[in-house]
Chains A and B, each alone.
Chain A
Amino acid sequence: HFYDTHLWPQRSSGACTRKTSESQASGLPEYIKIVEVGPRDGLQNEKVIVPTDIKIELINRLSKTGLPAIEVTSFVSSKWVPQMADHKEVMRGIERHPGVQYPVLTPNLQGFHSAIAAGATEVSVFGAASESFSKMNINCSIEESIEKFEEIAKSARNMDIPVRGYVSCALGCPYEGNIIPAKVAEVSKRLYSMGCYEISLGDTIGVGTPGSMKRMLEAVMKEIPLSALAVHCHDTYGQALANILTAIQMGVAVVDSSVAGLGGCPYAKGATGNVATEDVIYMLNGLGINTGVDLYTVMETGNFICTALNKKTNSKVAQASFNTGTIH
């Protein structure tokens, strides 16, 4: 069937290898690492509290798709984020597949120690390019938050634990509006200098366009090597794939996404949030870029979690595929 071979080139012999030379010829990366944030960023922004065993099954299924990194949970106080209250149980309950990273969020040193005790082998810290956002979200200035992260980075270094840094509001802030690229570069540099191996630049409210993405990346690339950069685009204004394309045209080779596009936008009621992993993979497959991820298995996983959440998928690829009867 046409859709079968088109959607899943890995299943038709030779299709993927032929296309690899296409990506080389076009100047795009040959390989892109996809960081799956559905279980953390996705579920955190879903209204329905998901039982621990469902979370564990979601992550176990994602582990079988070929995804190289899956953000598992957040060691934050359950008072602030009830959805992540079961962080220890989830961390201890998941299967750990070799070759797959399972980072967790750690907002402070206490969370970091708790994460390590629960078996975490990689952590993430969240900064922002906006003072207002930093104040409203974690009740301190950017500088104060950086100081907290430096404590974590120091402990992490002593224990050989890699740390990923996030910069929120990279293309705009729900409170301040426009964010200047120089500020994003400055915060990114602070996180990179303290030892974060990768900086994920987040368009937190999805307002960015290829224009602002390009300007922001140009500024950040002056301070951080390209290989240490990732983009985390929200699809709230439908711009995510165009923004991601722009980033990969500039050489970025790490992209964050969320299975089934889980996670709405807390700043625009009813609007969407994370870009759907399925839609990203579809685009990358079409560009001949290798991800190591099997689109079909991701779609099945998306179907699983949407059924559990009793909601429709936000992935257009999944919507189109289920409705042509290609998935059973």
Chain B
Amino acid sequence: MAAARGLLSRWAVSLRPVSAAAAAGAFPKRVKVVEVGPRDGLQNEKNVVPTAVKINLINMLSETGLQVIEATSFVSPKWVPQMADHTEVMQGINKLPGISYPVLTPNLKGFQAAVAAGAKEVSIFGAASELFTKKNINCSIEESLERFDEVMAAARAASIPVRGYVSCVLGCPYEGKISAAKVAEVSKKMYSMGCYEISLGDTIGIGTPGSMKEMLTAVMKEVPVGALAVHCHDTYGQALANILVALQMGVSVVDASVAGLGGCPYAQGASGNVATEDLVYMLNGLGIHTGVDLQKLMDTGTFICNALNRRTNSKVSQASCRL
């Protein structure tokens, strides 16, 4: 039995990508993994994490081969206490060449603070649900995007790339079903405003491969697939299946959170983000290149879970844990 366990714990690490020829023909050869743990993940964790721990987390992630690590959010600490140390984090991390460290900027003030702190890429947030937008930021979708006009203009002037997020693409905690056409409309708007990439978020994890396919079919009529990303939550255990379908349709950018950090604010105790380890494990098995070292990623997950005094949400990590 000990021999079996030893083999199992080495299994995850030894699973190198198989040759491209052996992989299924329908998948992209490379996938860019966007790590959102330090922002989306930590933002939805109850325990406030010390600045030094956040910096160490991002530095460790920078050593895994990940090319994009969402570092923090330049939002008012009144709204999001976890991100109050955004300036210190941005200034404190090692910025390795070839790695992008985007930050959230909810408005022009946040954008300016971000740039002053050294940010070279920013993200803005829209939603495919009017009710969600109203409850979250007290305005309509139209108004929320107008607020970003200033940010887009400033970003353009400073040659700063902007990533756009669309929330509630597969369902809304208030409105329920969201029409694929609405998601396509909002995505198109944000793409026309100048976002280089649109990350489509299943905010409450309610989507299934069926609704993912329907939504992407609509969005791909308006935005080139090369500019699309999926941001799946695993609240109903559907994330990897949904991501698989997105890959089959040509999407090659996937967001994930180390150790599956970040619960769901709409379902107490339920999980949120899909775990980066589990995603990379699947991509490796499909022969898709990510450039990410799974062992180093798992080590980073172990670090942050210890710091947060919580168990990992990554099944790969759970299965591989040192005994």
Chain A interfacial positions (CB closer than 8 Å to B): 2, 5-6, 19, 22, 26, 172, 174-175, 177, 205-212, 214-215, 235-239, 241-242, 244-246, 265-272, 276, 279, 282-283, 285-288, 315-317, 319-320, 323-324
Q: What 0/1 pattern do residues 166 to 199 of B give for CB contact below 8 A with A?
A: 0000011111110000000000000000000000
18 contacts between A and B (CB under 8 A): A2-B173, A174-B4, A209-B15, A237-B316, A239-B278, A239-B281, A242-B282, A245-B241, A265-B319, A267-B5, A269-B5, A283-B208, A285-B208, A286-B238, A287-B209, A287-B210, A317-B236, A324-B267
Closest Cβ–Cβ distance, residue B319 to chain A (whole Å)? 4
Residues of A within 8 A of B281 (CB): 209, 237-239
Closest Cβ–Cβ distance, residue A140 to chain B (whole Å)? 18
Q: Which of B208, B211, B234, B286 contacts A316 (CB 8 A)?
A: B234
State which of B18-26, B78-86, B136-144, B149-157 sits at the interface with chain A: B18-26
- The answer to whether A177 and B7 touch across the interface, beta carbons within 8 angstroms, is yes
Closest Cβ–Cβ distance, residue A200 to chain B (whole Å)? 20
- The answer to whether A283 and B238 touch across the interface, beta carbons within 8 angstroms, is yes
- The answer to whether A241 and B3 touch across the interface, beta carbons within 8 angstroms, is no
- The answer to whether B266 and A319 touch across the interface, beta carbons within 8 angstroms, is no
In angstroms, Cα B278 to Cα A282, docked, is 20
Closest Cβ–Cβ distance, residue B266 to chain A (whole Å)? 7
In angstroms, Cα B264 to Cα A114, docked, is 50
Q: Which of B173, B174, B241 contacts A241 (CB 8 A)?
A: B241
Residues of B within 8 A of A2 (CB): 171-177
Q: Which of A26, A215, A237, A279 contacts B315 (CB 8 A)?
A: A237
Q: Is B213 an interface residue (CB 8 A)?
A: yes
Closest Cβ–Cβ distance, residue A206 to chain B (whole Å)? 7
Closest Cβ–Cβ distance, residue B285 to chain A (whole Å)? 3
Q: Is B99 an interface residue (CB 8 A)?
A: no
Closest Cβ–Cβ distance, residue B284 to chain A (whole Å)? 7
- The answer to whether A175 and B270 touch across the interface, beta carbons within 8 angstroms, is no
Closest Cβ–Cβ distance, residue A30 to chain B (whole Å)? 13
Closest Cβ–Cβ distance, residue B214 to chain A (whole Å)? 8
Q: Is B271 an interface residue (CB 8 A)?
A: yes
- The answer to whether B282 and A209 touch across the interface, beta carbons within 8 angstroms, is yes
Tally inter-chain residue pairs, CB-CB below 8 A. Answer: 161
Closest Cβ–Cβ distance, residue A144 to chain B (whole Å)? 21
Q: Is B1 an interface residue (CB 8 A)?
A: yes
Q: Which of B175, B207, B282, B315 contacts A271 (CB 8 A)?
A: B315
Residues of A within 8 A of B240 (CB): 238-239, 241-242
Contact flag A215-B22 (CB < 8 Å), given A238-B314, A272-B318? yes
Q: Which of B226-259 contact A (CB under 8 A)?
A: 234-238, 240-241, 243-245
Q: Which of B282-323 contact A (CB under 8 A)?
A: 282, 284-287, 314-316, 318-321, 323
In angstroms, Cα B213 to Cα A288, docked, is 12
Q: Apart from A268-B9, A320-B264, list 13 A-B contacts with CB within 8 A.
A: A6-B176, A174-B5, A205-B11, A237-B315, A242-B241, A245-B245, A268-B319, A269-B323, A282-B208, A286-B209, A315-B237, A316-B237, A324-B266
Closest Cβ–Cβ distance, residue A306 to chain B (whole Å)? 14
- The answer to whether A5 and B176 touch across the interface, beta carbons within 8 angstroms, is yes
Q: Is B8 an interface residue (CB 8 A)?
A: yes
Residues of A within 8 A of B207 (CB): 286
Q: Is B159 an interface residue (CB 8 A)?
A: no
Contact flag A175-B285 (CB < 8 Å), given A271-B315, A283-B209, A286-B211? no
